[in-house]
Structure 1
Amino acid sequence: MESSKALQIMLSSAILVLLLVSVFPDTEGCRAADGSNGHVQFHKVSHYEFSGPKWPPSKYNLTYAFLGNYPSDKINPVALDFDQWAANSGFTFSQVPNNTQSDLTISFQRLDHGDNSPFDGPGGVLAHAYDPEDGRFHFDADDSFVVGAVADSFDVETVAVHEIGHLLGLDHSLVQEAVMYEFITSGATNRDLHPDDIAGIKALYGF
């Protein structure tokens, strides 16, 4: 019981801490930068930190759409990620056609794509997603995204489950096993929400 109380106090205190360790300027969205050891580091770091804005209760039933020439083989992995967040929060997510207005949009973009956060070609920035209630989630089309663990490529489901956390208002976790951890590794997968991810979304929204 005492250890549980201590953990709760530690987590509550950690919410107040935001460590900026990237050389990139701060943005509303998520950035990633190449590391020297095959890892990629996401931009912001904290222990289930909140990015600020959150969705109002009237928007707990969110719609999402895949825009443009989004690869058909990469739709289901992202849909599975939405299902996982829904199963562990008070949100529901429904896919709508790409010609329908939606709360969230997912697309592949290249270089300067009109959001003042240009991608940088192969390597470097993998993806970014914006805080509520913006709803945009962009993959860098010049990076290699696959389904599964493939050397020198990134698992689309692993990247998406992380970025959806940002769409919902979460920043990064210091827990290495969490999907909101600051690092992602090529040729590997980390798709399952960790108790820290679940604690973060529940604490943010009071679910």
Structure 2
Amino acid sequence: MAITNLSSTFSYSLLLTLLFFHAVLAQSHNQTKSAFEFLNHLQGCHKGDRAKGVRELKHYLEKFGYLNYNQSSDPIHADDDDFNDALESAVKTYQLNYHLNVSGNLDPQTVSKMMMPRCGVADIINGTARMGSGKKGRNLRGLGSFHPVSRYTFMNGNPRWPASKYHLTYGFAPGTPTAAKGAVSRAFTSWASISRFTFSYIKDYEIADIEIGFERGDHGDGTINSFDGPGGTIAHAFRPTIGLFHYDADERWAVGPAAGSQDIDLETVALHEIGHLLGLGHSDVEGAIMFSSIAPGTTKGLHEDDIQGIRALYNF
């Protein structure tokens, strides 16, 4: 009888364990579903089509600088599912920027590129892209406007830290993981090695020149800069001299993630966002750290294009 009870207890425990791991795996699967997943269902769409999800595509292209319905002659179509002339033009501009076949159609290559996890800073601006009003009473207007120079870009107006501020302090908001602090510190060291900038950590993040932290959803940077859960936009930073850098807390972060994993490298993203903090925009060189997107399970370092960009911006 005791043996029977022991067997029953073991079977029950095993069942609970299996159910637990099933729940964990299911949760993990849901958490890794990209916020850009809607794009998958739009593959093959082109001008003249009406399909569910086209409205979200318009918002995507507006967020990243390819559409501006506030200055459009046809703003009424900003929230419908019609694939119209303005959207086709925006898709063509996106394809041109990423060296894709410029057809205006959502071919597999275009959809694949659009679905990659990416920085929340816009690529280009057709009129407006504002960060709104943020912490510390800083003026956040104008982030995301770029002037193309060679392959790298500068933010609109070439904003720079003044020569008197080539030494910058940085601090971490409460709750920042230790692993992220180490990754960010190493990224600052990398930028210091190829520029005149030096960086030092201070404990009081509220008085630091640069504040780093993890945020979720709408966190006070303005609606256009809200994070979108797992996948999608993974981080953003602000032009000089605002000094704010946010990771999306809903992502799967790691230091030196394994190839093929769904984890995103903390240090690679830090290198990218520090580039924005110093005044660089996005590069169209895929190997550059300032390229707008990054595949999970990959790491990158500073590229010659990044080095040329920062030296050109500051006349080093």
Classify the TM-score, shorter chain: 0.7 to 0.9
Partner of 1:144: 252
TM-score (norm 2): 0.53
Q: What is the CA–CA distance in structure 1 between the aligned matches of 2:205 and 2:64, rounded to whole Å?
A: 32
What value does the CA root-mean-square deviation take over the aligned residues?
1.8
Partner of 2:310: 201
For residue 183 of structure 1, give the secondary structure of its aligned residue in structure 2: coil
> 1:119 pairs with 203, 227, 244, which one?
227
Unaligned runs of 5+ in 1: 1-21, 28-34
Matches within 5 A, 1:87-166: 87-99=193-205, 101-116=207-222, 117-150=225-258, 151-166=261-276
For residue 184 of structure 1, give the secondary structure of its aligned residue in structure 2: coil
Q: What is the CA–CA distance in structure 2 between the aligned matches of 1:125 and 1:176, rounded to whole Å?
A: 17
For residue 233 of structure 2, give the secondary structure of its aligned residue in structure 1: coil
Q: What is the CA–CA distance in structure 2 between the aligned matches of 1:135 and 1:148, rounded to whole Å?
A: 26
Partner of 2:100: none
| Residues 1:23 and 2:61 are matched in the alignment | yes
The structure whose residues are more often strand, as a share, is 1
**Structure whose CA Rg is larger:** 2
The amino acid of 1:81's aligned partner reads A
The amino acid of 1:58's aligned partner reads S
Q: What is the CA–CA distance in structure 2 between the aligned matches of 1:171 and 1:62, rounded to whole Å?
A: 19
**CA offset digits 1:147-206 (Å, max 9, x no partner):** 11231110000111000000000011122211111221101111x211111110000001
Identity %: 46
Unaligned runs of 5+ in 2: 1-59, 66-110, 125-147
| Residues 1:82 and 2:188 are matched in the alignment | yes
Partner of 2:17: none
- Deviating beyond 3 angstroms after TM superposition, the runs of 4 or more aligned structure 1 residues are 35-38
Q: Return 138-147 or 99-108, whichever deviates more.
A: 99-108
TM-score (norm 1): 0.80
Partner of 1:30: none
Count of aligned pairs between the two proteins: 178
Partner of 1:12: none
Which of 1 and 2 has higher RCO (CA within 8 Å, sep 6+)? 1
For residue 272 of structure 2, give the secondary structure of its aligned residue in structure 1: helix
Q: What is the CA–CA distance in structure 1 between the aligned matches of 2:232 and 2:305, rounded to whole Å?
A: 27
